[in-house]
Amino acid sequence: MGWFLLAETVPDDDPSHHVVTVRRTNDGLTAGAGLVVGLDTVLTCAHVVNDALGRPLLDPRDPERRPLLVQLHGKLGSRQYFAHVEHWIPPRSEYGGRVLEGDTTWLGDLAVLRLQAATGELPAPPRRTTMSQQQKVQAWHGSGKEATFADLTVTLLAGPIGYIDGAPTGMAVGPGYSGSPLWSPHHRAVVGLVAAAFLLPGQDPDSGAPLPYHPQQMNRRGWAIPWQRVEAELRPLGVLDALSPEPVDPEDPAFGVLADLVADLLPSGNGRVDFGRRLARACGVGYSSDVTPPTPEEFAMFLLSHPRAIAALTAVLRREPGGASRRVLAVAGLVRAARLLTPQEYLELRDRLQILDPGVLARLPETVRAALPHLAVFPDGTDLDALLDQLEALPGDGRSADGEARVPALLRVMEYVAALCVEPRQSELRLWANRVVARLGVPRAALAERRWDAQVWARSVRDGSRRARVLVEVTRAERDRHRLGIWCDEGSGPRRVSVKSVGSYSASEAAREVLRVVTSLTPDAVDARPPLVEVLVDRKSLNLPVDEWEARVPGELVPGVLGVEFPLVVHCPELLRRHGRFLPHWRTRWSRLDSGKTFVVDESMDPDTLYPKLVNQLDTVRVSVDVPPGSPRDSIVQTCLVLGIPVVVWDRGPDGRSHAVKHMADVATRELPEGIRGYRAGSLASPPEFPGRPVLAWADADRTTPRLQLTEPQEGA
């Protein structure tokens, strides 16, 4: 055991203290249990979260950032915290679909919660190890009361399921035990989570009378999620990278450099005790002695093991003479896992970002691209914590005098975010950045220059109005009828305006519903342009003629054709996200929309030859498909969308070469929605002069789309 007590080496006096209570939001009662797995993270079952939020237990929908209340127990009493779901792995069947009524076991069913807690407030996580057959384990009710422990045995390990049988005396696992850590006294470690219990039938389904117990009935059996399955589910998300650090290799060159540096900076034992305690508290870990100092090697081991320890050490040493902090920063590059921010800086930044205006948060992807225009691959802005992790790993920009510390990419992005904010949020972010650059030794003049760049960009964004848009999810129902989901986005992200319904619409009824929503929008006093109508479809509905739908009502003077009154485009999230490796290509191409090239596909080309031509041409932002109708044309269009081409034009008409595609060749890419709207109006007025039926696929990387389930029509709006 080292001087710094990492999560893997913390002694466990009372395993019941590892049980976290997850409470229901409506009545405060216990929904289930969980366990601490990181500095500010708790692991529980997804169905416990559903119960806490008053939803069906096996509901697969992401609860997003709805607040939860959790309670931690320890020697000094209980403390309550608010939390939200950080990673959601919903219950799923063996084949990946929904869990059906009558299913007794399932996969997935995990949720990682992020707590609003300061560093060091949470107890250290327990050790974890694999579940094995015949292990003797204990579980606790979600209330965390010591007397609720149940003695169990892992009687069968059947792949991803561990079956657990209870002892004939004592407590039995039942409601409220889900999510409880299964503690192995022999291994002094958690080996899994309780998932469910096989309960005896409580009453006769016909009469409602209690059923008598029969000795042949199954008694005190449940099933659990083995820790090895937890690791398999969480490892792809990167959750366990910080929870289970790799052991430090003493042969790592950085180990010797850090040990020598600590010995030089802190030669006295008293100094190592003092700074060791301060470092341990900053990183939220324990330490073994107030008297015996850590050795330089133990110091180095901790700096290599904890991703934020080096940043925390620079903060601890910042006011020490002799440039101690700068010397630590100079060797930080040797530690591959080292993060830019201290634990306190990271938590403060995340908390400040979480309370920003939703409109600012919705523009994070656009802001990252503006702040880091020369980045080859742009981070994904859909998950806040994942975005921060990616930005922390990026180097500083290149505009710095010789020998000066450079402005990190993360701080440049935060300056651009601050430029979009109003007071007091703007000043809070800038004061945070000031403190970080002071610790890093970055010249204030360099940060001021980036701050000026951000202000110039923000003014240009405000001067260029963001067009309102109406998003219409269209899913097929019975013959010639459709289900709709409608959102409005006036610049602050999509907000749903339609109510979930199992009803369906004819083409005319759907057009009237869209017009009703558009009419309800508040007109922009500055931007008089009609909103963009973005139709969200699955791959089989790309040629659905939504632009031709008429909201014709008896007695009305005008037909109300959607594609004539509004610039109407289609968007297929299913294809765009089919292969995640092409998402960075899509974002890069979109950032070059005004300067990128157009690629024309004619009938001499097929999808197989299209792939090698387009996959690496990141300056190709637009593809015009001038191919006769049929399978090759549809395959070509879908291939373009999969590869991340943001703008694709084709003609759904039955003829050969397209008049519409040729007509659009002279229209600038950014003006295509208006250009095609004009063509559709011309086609309505004079079909012989405008014989085409153009379709425009438009995937704007700067605007967010709602979460959809386009492959499950029964879930449509």
Question: Taking 90 as the threshold, does the pLDDT of residue 416 lie above it?
Answer: yes
Tell me the C-alpha distance between 691 and 682, whole Å: 9
HSE (CB half, 13 Å, CA atoms) of 187?
20
pLDDT band at 244 (very low <50, low <70, confident <90, very high): very low
Please say if the pLDDT value at position 336 is more than 60.
yes
Q: Which two tokens stand for residue 498?
A: 């339609």
Average pLDDT over residues 228-233: 88
The 8-class DSSP code of residue 203 comes to B
CA atoms of 365 and 4, how far apart (whole Å): 39
Cis status, amide bond into 424, omega within 30 of 0: yes
Q: How far apart are CA 593 and CA 589, in angstroms?
A: 6
CA 29, CA 422: separation in Å to the nearest integer?
39
pLDDT given for residue 473 in this prediction: 92
- Residue 246: the pLDDT is 54
- Give this prediction's pTM: 0.54
Task: Please name the amino acid found at residue 607.
Answer: P
Selection from 617, 469, 618, 590 nearest residue 534 by Cα: 469
Rounded to whole angstroms, the Cα distance separating 55 from 340 reads 39
Residue 401 has pLDDT above 80, yes or no: no
Answer left, alpha or beta for residue 486, where phi above 0 means left and psi between -120 and 50 means alpha: beta
Mean pLDDT of 146-171: 89
29 phi and psi angles, rounded to 5 deg? -75, 170
Q: Where are the alpha helices (DSSP H) in 284-395?
A: 296-305, 309-316, 324-331, 343-354, 358-362, 364-371, 384-392
pLDDT at 597 over 70: yes
- How far is Cα 614 from Cα 699, in angstroms, rounded to an integer? 17
The closest alpha carbon to 647, from 627, 659, 629, 665, belongs to 665
In this predicted structure, what is the pLDDT of residue 711? 39
Q: What does DSSP say about strands 620-625 and 647-651: parallel, antiparallel, or unpaired?
A: parallel
* Percent over 90 (pLDDT), the chain: 34
State pLDDT tens for residues 8-33. Answer: 444 455 788 889 999 999 888 999 99
* pLDDT reported for residue 704: 78
219/168 Cα distance (integer angstroms): 9
Q: What is the 3-state secondary structure (H, E, C) of 315-333?
A: HHCCCCCCCHHHHHHHHHH
Predicted confidence (pLDDT) at residue 50 exceeds the cutoff of 90: yes
Between 73 and 707, the more confident residue is 73
Sorted by sequence, the CB contacts under 8 Å of residue 165 that are 6+ apart come out as: 152, 153, 155, 220, 221
Phi, psi of 695 (to 5 degrees): -125, 135
CB 384 within 8 A of CB 431: no
Least Cα distance to 641 among 593, 704, 602, 696 occurs for: 696
The SS3 of residue 603 is coil
Of 6-20, 115-129, 421-435, minimum mean pLDDT range: 6-20
Cβ-based burial of 706 (10 A; exposed 0-12, middle 13-18, buried ≥19): middle
Give me the mean pLDDT over the 101-120 stretch.
82
In degrees to the nearest 10, what's the CA dihedral of 382, 384, 390, 391?
A: 110
Confidence of residue 714 (pLDDT cuts 50, 70, 90): very low
Pairing, β 68-74 against β 19-23: antiparallel
Residue with more model confidence, 259 or 169: 259
Q: Give yes or no for a contact between 180 and 57, defined as CB atoms under 8 angstroms apart.
A: no
What's the mean per-residue pLDDT of the chain? Answer: 83
What pLDDT, on a 0 to 100 scale, did the predictor assign at position 206? 61
d(CA 52, CA 695): 45
Among 24-28, 630-634, 664-668, the minimum mean pLDDT is found in 630-634
Please say whether the beta carbons of 484 and 717 come within 8 A. yes
**pLDDT tens digits along 541-596:** 999 999 999 987 766 778 889 999 999 999 999 898 888 888 888 988 888 887 88
The pLDDT of residue 383 is above 70: no
515-552: pLDDT as tens digits: 988 887 766 645 567 899 999 999 999 999 999 999 87
Res 334: pLDDT: 85
Dihedral sign computed on CA atoms, order 429, 431, 437, 440: negative
DSSP state of 17: G
- Residue 653, judged by CB atoms within 10 A of its CB (0-12, 13-18, 19+), counts as middle
- The rounded distance, in Å, linking the Cα atoms of 525 and 544 is 34
Angle at 36 between CA 35 and CA 37, to 5 degrees: 110
Range with the poorest average pLDDT among 185-199, 246-260, 612-626: 246-260
pLDDT of residue 37 exceeding 80: yes
pLDDT at 616: 87
Burial class (CB in 10 A: 0-12, 13-18, 19+), 48: buried
Over residues 452-480, the mean pLDDT reads 81
Q: What is the pLDDT of residues 288-321, one digit of tens each?
A: 888 899 999 999 888 988 888 999 999 999 888 8
pLDDT tens across 670-705, in order?
889 999 999 999 999 998 899 999 999 999 987 878
The pLDDT score that the predictor gives to residue 712 is 35
- The pLDDT of residue 248 is 66
Looking up tokens 């006093």 gives 525
- Which residue type is seen at 105? T
- What confidence tens digit (pLDDT) does each residue in 175-226 have? 899 999 999 988 888 999 999 988 665 555 565 565 565 554 456 788 999 9
pLDDT at residue 472 is higher than 80 = yes
